[in-house]
Amino acid sequence: MTVESTAARTTRRSAGTTGGTAGKRTTAKSTAAKKPAAAKKSPSGEPELVQLLTPEGKRVKSAAYDKYVTGITPEDLRGLYRDMVLTRRFDAEATSLQRQGELGLWASLLGQEAAQIGSGRATREDDYVFPTYREHGVAWCRGVDPTNLLGMFRGVNNGGWDPNSNNFHLYTIVIGSQTLHATGYAMGVAKDGADSAVIAYFGDGASSQGDVAESFTFSAVYNAPVVFFCQNNQWAISEPTERQTRVPLYQRAQGYGFPGVRVDGNDVLACLAVTRWALERARGGEGPTLVEAYTYRMGAHTTSDDPSKYRADEEREAWEAKDPILRLRRYLEASNHADEGFFAELEAESEALGKRVREAVRAMPDPDHFAIFENVYADGHALVDEERAQFAAYQASFADGEGA
């Protein structure tokens, strides 16, 4: 897959605050052609999307979205940078822990830090987040201790955190399911007359699932305060986005009757602004929004995956030039918003986080054998009690055997 074809996958522009709902475009016919429509490129050859920071770290103006980041201070910017750096460090640590056999599997977010930190920092404490399985950066923003995310990847639990303590739901492995949960939750928020919002994360591959289509239908019909945040990282394991869709994903929203916007997913500021806008719409009773964060999965799908089977190295290299962390660093440096001392301190903090994660994982105890029978039912169940007792007797029989 060349750089050209990556850019070529992206076609239409997002149109300001109403994104893909404008309906003026004459795309319907061209996309109905027999072959996937040859994607139109913008004059620059790059996908057109909401962007506030260029890959070179230059601040660009956006009439529609600047107002969502006007109050942002240099300290806030350094905070976003810190979030991204620490999240990347955590992720790198988890990847190496997997290689050392400490984790059974890891789904890396490398390259998606801006999409996650930008959107995650846009949420309010009383908002509710429904992640898939790669939202380590969003979890960070929600105050979930990153070591809590590792239990399921180590194989000691199937989730392991209380979703209600940070309004951050459990990871969902079955693709797309959580978008319906988010929609239902949002329907509940609206019924309660609360003014919080809900955000659901999913991938470009997930957009093909029936559950996702149904969540669009329900959220539109009930005007649910939910933001669908699709991280289009270009791949669903080995399948490129064009294996899932013939129109840019954000345009899907139009058919359901709510706005869709494509944002530069490697631009943390733009992700923050667009998500704030979408969450405010939700809070204001204006219903759902689809945000497509156009980004890139720099690593393998998971540590079990071998991307060399299906994609060229040049593609990753082209995206490395758009690295979200590098981009903000350039901006911070050029605008004198951060000095050497800040970066050095952060490096030290990052080292400390790495160490903490390593130690926490190694210290994580294996679960008690009886955990198999715990929490199967809230009210209990006679069969589970019986099987637990049989299991106990069986375990005890070994102890006797050893003693004898």
Partner 1 sequence: MAVEKMALAKAINESLRRALETDPKVLVMGEDVGKLGGVFRVTDGLQKDFGESRVIDTPLAESGIVGTAIGLALRGYRPVVEIQFDGFVFPAYDQIVTQLAKMHARSLGKVKLPVVVRIPYGGGIGAVEHHSESPEALFAHVSGLKVVSPSNAGDAYWMMQQAIQSDDPVIFFEPKRRYWDKAEVNTEAIPGPLHKARVVREGTDLTLVAYGPMVKLCQEVADAAAEEGRSLEILDLRSVSPLDFDSIQASVEKTRRLVVVHEAPVFFGSGAEIAARITERCFYHLEAPVLRVGGYHAPYPPARLEEEYLPGLDRVLDAVDRSLAY
Ligand X SMILES: Cc1ncc(C[n+]2csc(CCOP(=O)(O)OP(=O)(O)O)c2C)c(N)n1
Residues near partner 1 (CB under 8 A) are 104-105, 151-158, 173-176, 205-206, 208-211, 236-239, 243-244, 304-305, 309-310, 366-367, 369, 371-373, 376, 381, 383-384, 387, 391, 394, 397-398
The minimum distance between CB 381 and ligand X, in angstroms, equals 28
Residue selected from 48, 127, 204, 267 as contacting ligand X according to rule CB under 6 A: 204
Q: Which is nearer to partner 1, 92 or 156 (CB)?
A: 156
211 scored as a contact of ligand X (CB under 6 A): no
Q: In terms of CB distance, is 137 or 203 closer to ligand X?
A: 203
Q: For residue 236, state whether it binds ligand X (rule: CB under 6 A).
A: yes
Active site residue 337: no
Residue count, binding to ligand X (CB under 6 A): 14
| Residue 282 beta carbon to ligand X: minimum distance, rounded to whole angstroms | 23
Task: Say which entry of ligand X, partner 1, none residue 61 contacts (CB below 5 to 8 A, set by partner kind).
Answer: none
User: Per CB under 6 A, does 9 bind ligand X?
Assistant: no
Name the minimum Å distance from CB 134 to ligand X: 5
Examine the residue annotation and report whether 301 is marked as an active-site residue of this protein.
Answer: yes
Q: Whose Cβ is closer to partner 1: residue 154's or residue 181's? A: 154
Q: Is 297 a catalytic residue?
A: yes
3-state secondary structure the chain: CCHHHHHHCCCCCCCHHHECCCCCCCHHHHHCCCCCCCCCCCCCCCCCCECCECCCCCECCCCCCHHHCCCCCHHHHHHHHHHHHHHHHHHHHHHHHHHCCCCCCCCCCCCCHHHHHHHHHHCCCCCEEECCCCCHHHHHHCCCCHHHHHHHHHCCCCCCCCHHHHCECCCCCCCCHHHHHHHHHHHHHHHHCCCCCEEEEEECCHHHCHHHHHHHHHHHHCCCCEEEEEEECCEECCEEHHHCCCCCHHHHHHHHCCCEEEEECCCHHHHHHHHHHHHHHHHCCCCCEEEEEECCCCCCCCCCCCHHHCCCHHHHHHHHCCCHHHHHHHHHHHCCCCCHHHHHHHHHHHHHHHHHHHHHHHHCCCCCHHHHHCCCCCCCCHHHHHHHHHHHHHHHHHHHHHHC
Residues designated as active site: 297, 301, 310
Give the footprint of ligand X on this chain (CB under 6 A).
Answer: 134, 173-175, 203-206, 233, 235-237, 297, 301
